Amino acid sequence: MQSTINVAVMVKLEPDLSEGNVSYNPDGTLNRSQTRSILGPHSAIATRASFYSKVLYDANIKVCTMGPPMADIALRQALEICNADELHLYSDRAFAGADTLATAETIKAGIRKMGSIDLVIGGHRAVDGETGQTGPQVAWKLGFNFLGNVIDYSIDSANRIIHAERLIEIQGLYNILEEVECPLPALITIDPSYRERYNTVSQRLKYIKLQKEAMKKAENYKQYLKVWSAKELGVDTRSVGLPGSPTIVYKVEKVPRAKASRQTRIIDVSKDSELKELGMRLLEILNSK
């Protein structure tokens, strides 16, 4: 008799940066009030990855996020994707203004409150300025094994082992495909190139069935939602939110632009001088920093 796999998913509400939805201020900064927020694309991938464990292992899934009350939209969208069993929103003024370390502290506390968790799944990073660090920091704080850049995984539920494939891109060197395994509990973050593989007809059929069920559940998502305050989570308010953040955003400035747009110059190759000039220019650019 196999025991249930308990999965937690960390997601984030982010501005929808797709064309036609995003709004900018005259200075080129994001107009947040005009831009609608959605479940971030990397969070959506992480959620999809969790659904895989539901289809294959009948996992119990709890999705969590930290954010303002309206962040429950992200949880609802996640529920639609993964047919979650519970939704957890960590929402308290005390959490506001957190950097990664302080965010990780809150989420760690939240996941501890979930009871026994075998696997935590997070996204690669957020699109609106987060860093891809929350996942590993939560893992470290929980004392879970951490695997990043996961593109595929499977679980041996009898031996409580996760087997994962990771894509490690080392710029200027090469890419590595690494197969690893480690005992549960573990925290994994999902690479954008993650593609779930449902290899049999029955898995596909189950996928569809659970997905349909998820859409129904999403209509009454509040029924599955629990909102947690700092007090309920039992966190020390000095270690979360602004007070718990080592870093601050000191200033935001415009990136100086090297050039506005291209001015096309037409070169006549029959003229030696123009050819030479182009050649010099090319070599000069290539030799510059």
Partner 1 sequence: MKYEHLFVFFEHDDGNPANVSFEMLGEARRLMDEFNRKYSRNEKVIAIILGHNIKSLCERAIHAGADAVIYADHPELRYPRIMVDTKIICSLVRDRQTVAKVVETSEDYVKPRYMFFGADAIGRHLSATVLAELESGLASDVNKLLVDDVTITHEHKTKGKQEKYEKILFMYRPDFSGFLWTQILCLDNKNPEIAREYSPQACSIIPGVFQPIIDSSRKGKIVEYEPTFSGKDLKIRIVKREIIKSEVPLEDSRIVVAFGRGIKDSPESNIKLIEQFANTLDAEIAISLPLSKQPYSISQSLKSTYFIPARVVGTSGKKIKPKVYVAIGISGATQHIVGMKDSEFVVSINPDPDAPIKDESDIYIQGRMEDVLPLLLDSIKKIKEGGN
Partner 2 sequence: MEKYDVAIIGGGSAGLAALMELSKLGLQAVVLEGAKPVGSKSVTGGILYSKNYRNAKVYNVEEVYKNFLDDAPVERRITGYYLNAVSENKVYTVDLTDAHNYQTNFAYSVLMVRMNKWFAAQAEEEAQKNGGGIVSGVHVSDIVWENSKTIVQTDELEPIQVNAVVAADGVNSEAALMTGARKKFDVEALYQGVKSVIRLPEDIIDERYGLKEGEGVAHLFAGDISRGHNGGGFIYTNKETLSVGLVYHLDSLIKSPIEPYTLLDSFLTIPQVSNYIKDEVPFVKEFDRDLPKEEQLRMKFGISKLLKSWEELRYTYYSKTARRKAIESRLYKSEEELRHRLDETRKELEEKFRVSFVTNYVELEYSAKLVPDGKRALMDKPYKNNVLFVGDAAGRGVFVGTRIEGINIGIDDAARAARAIARAKEHNDYSEEYMGRYYGELINESPYTDDIRKIDFEYLKIFVNACKEIPTESLNLFLRLGFMLLQKATVQDFARAITKMLDQRTLLALIETNEAYVKIPMEVAEKIGRTVNPDYKIKPPSIDERIAKIRINDDPEPHIKILDPNSRFIKSMVQLCPTKCYIMEILDKERFKSEVVLQHEGCIECGTCSKETDWKHPKGEKGVTYEYG
Residues that bind partner 2 (CB under 8 A): 19-24, 26, 28, 198-202, 204-205, 208-209, 257, 260-261
**CA–CA gap between residue 9 and residue 239 (Å, rounded):** 22
Minimum CB separation from partner 1 for residue 75, in Å?
Answer: 23
Could you tell me the smallest distance in angstroms from the CB atom of residue 219 to partner 1?
Answer: 33
Of the pair 3, 31, the CB lying nearest partner 2 is at 31
State the number of CA atoms in the 13 A half-sphere of 190 facing the CB.
27
List the single partner that 260 binds among partner 2, partner 1, none, CB under 5 to 8 Å by kind.
partner 2
- Minimum CB distance to partner 2, residue 262 (Å): 9
221 binds, among partner 1, partner 2, none (CB under 5 to 8 A by kind): none
Among partner 2, partner 1, none, the one that 201 touches (CB under a kind-dependent 5 to 8 A) is partner 2
- For the bound state, the minimum distance from the C-beta of residue 255 to partner 1, rounded and expressed in Å, comes to 5
Neighbours of 264 (CB within 10 A): 5
Q: Which is nearer to partner 2, 62 or 217 (CB)?
A: 217
Residue with tokens 């001088």: 273
Is the Cβ–Cβ distance between 10 and 64 less than 8 Å? yes
Q: Are strands 86-90 and 60-66 parallel, antiparallel or unpaired?
A: parallel
Contact 70, 30 (CB under 8 A): no
Q: How far is the CB of 42 from partner 1 (least distance, A)?
A: 12
Q: Which does 220 bind (CB under 5 to 8 A by kind): partner 1, partner 2, none?
A: none
Q: Which residue, 95 or 207, is less far from partner 1 as judged by CB?
A: 95
Nearer to partner 1, 201 or 258 (CB): 258
Q: Could you tell which of partner 1, partner 2, none binds residue 1, using a CB distance below 5 to 8 A set by kind?
A: none
Q: How far apart are CA 55 and CA 211, in angstroms?
A: 10
Would you tell me how many other CB atoms lie within 10 Å of the CB of residue 73? 17
Contacts of 197 (CB under 8 A, 6+ apart): 152
CB of 64 vs partner 1, minimal distance in Å = 18
Q: Cis link prior to 185 (omega < 30° from 0)?
A: yes
**Do 89 and 227 form a contact (C-beta atoms < 8 A)?**
yes
